[in-house]
Amino acid sequence: MSGVHHYHYPSREEFQQRIGNVTAPKGLKTAALVAALLGMGLFAFGAATGEQRAWHALHFNWIYLATISSAGVAFAAVQRLVTARWSRPVLRFFEGYVAFLPVAFVLLLLILFPGREAIFTWASREHVEVAEKALYLEPTFFVLRGIVLFGAMTAVMLWFVYRSVRLDVAVLPKFTGAKWAEGLRQKMRAGFGEERRELHSTHSILGKLAVAVCMLFVVGWCFMAWDYSMTLTLHWQQTMYAWIVFMAGWLGMIMSASLLSMWWRNQMKVDDLVTINHFWDLGKLCFAFTAFFGYISFAQYLVVWYGNLPEETHFYNLRLSGVWKPVTQLIPILAFALPFGGLISKAAKVYLPTFVLFAIASLVGTWLHRYIEVYPSIYGVAEHLPFGLYEIGVTLGMLGLWFTCYFAFMDAFPKMRVFMMTAKYRDEVQVPVDPRTMEPLPAHE
């Protein structure tokens, strides 16, 4: 990345003293839990009383947070594939995103079973006339596809993070985290062998898992973007649509993880480990993916505009008219213009208040993007903007649920990749080694 990082880290004993007992503030965890209970309680009340907007609010927030959470693990997998060293101090902040995925899987089951008819017009109110679409949306096939794809993604990502965390738990025998994970930590320590061999065997396993994580993230979200977003209207199909859906999640991930990296840096007082150069690098990634997200979004719009085919233009005509127009126009300002124009300079990346401002603008913009993906397809031409108690309440509930999961994970395991920052042989992974013989692998392997 910036090329100016210095890889000189404290000893494990110092890591234990400095970050071993740091936890998220109790008040913040309580606030997240209260928000989760109130927001999800509101959703449960709406679902029980037949208020379909409760399901719609759950659905677009599920897409928003599920894409971001899975993207966090995919980012960690990419760092493994390129054997990055710059990101070691901050990577656990990304890996913590995996904690929401099991909860997201349960929420997906709610969407697929009791919520399907309230969310998907083709499941209750609209007849599927095209034979191929009717086959693709056959209820059993539709449900199984979602369970298998998101279930496989969740399982592989959990396994990837488990193998990564295991190294740090094993070399910090005095680390004591949240009680709920005590059994997991004991299991991680029990099978840990000679350190150099563990380094290379784990690095090899993580390499294989990283490939699976990245493939499942891209292919899985292509299908899930079609299923849970595009098919909300049966008369819309576009080749760029799936990319826009999961890249919005990727952009939200890099923005939110940058904010969390700043927060954990202050919370743990590790300015010497998470340096301003890390935020320069993260800022460059935020800028780059803002540009890419803007590019693919405009590419889709441009093709639809100059093609001028009614089966395509109706999607934008609806969103650029009536009550939907102000929201649609706000999205490119928040999700593209502000962060792109702001983060183009180095000063805005390394001066954290401006970085925070542009990251928050991007996160709000991509959240509105999810809203405008889902709601116009369900409501069509509306007299009043369906945005009120359920949209705000369920959003706060989902955010509370996400942070509750995230803090539970971060309090249970070491908050940094201590092993890869302190192991004597850590840089041997730059040249792949056979973990059985400890000899460098031939180039073709």
Please give the pLDDT value at position 431. Answer: 74
Q: What percent of the chain has pLDDT over 90?
A: 84
Please give the pLDDT value at position 21. Answer: 86
How many angstroms separate the CA atoms of 74 and 77, rounded?
5
pTM of the shown model? 0.95
Residue of 371, 401, 367 lying closest to 43 (CA atoms): 401
Q: 139: how many CB neighbours lie within 10 A of its CB?
A: 12
pLDDT in tens, 103-142: 999 999 999 999 999 999 898 777 888 889 999 999 999 9
Please give the pLDDT value at position 212. Answer: 98
Residue of 379, 280, 437 lying closest to 59 (CA atoms): 379
| Residues 391 and 371: beta-carbon distance below 8 Å | yes
How many angstroms separate the CA atoms of 35 and 397, rounded?
5
| Residues 102 and 17: beta-carbon distance below 8 Å | no
**3 secondary structure, DSSP code:** S
User: Residue 435: pLDDT band by 50, 70, 90 thresholds?
Assistant: low
How many angstroms separate the CA atoms of 201 and 330, rounded?
49
Residue of 256, 257, 274, 276 lying closest to 265 (CA atoms): 274
| Residues 100 and 65: beta-carbon distance below 8 Å | yes
- What six digits make up the tokens of 367? 């959240």
How many angstroms separate the CA atoms of 95 and 106, rounded?
20
Segment 209-231 shows an average pLDDT of 97
Whether the predicted pLDDT of 395 surpasses 90: yes
How many angstroms separate the CA atoms of 329 and 92, rounded?
36
What is the per-residue burial (b if ≥16 Cβ within 10 Å, else e) of 253-281?
bbbbbbbbbbebbebeebeebbbebbbbb
Whether the predicted pLDDT of 378 surpasses 70: yes
Please give the pLDDT value at position 443. Answer: 55
The sign one gets for the Cα dihedral 326, 331, 332, 336 is positive
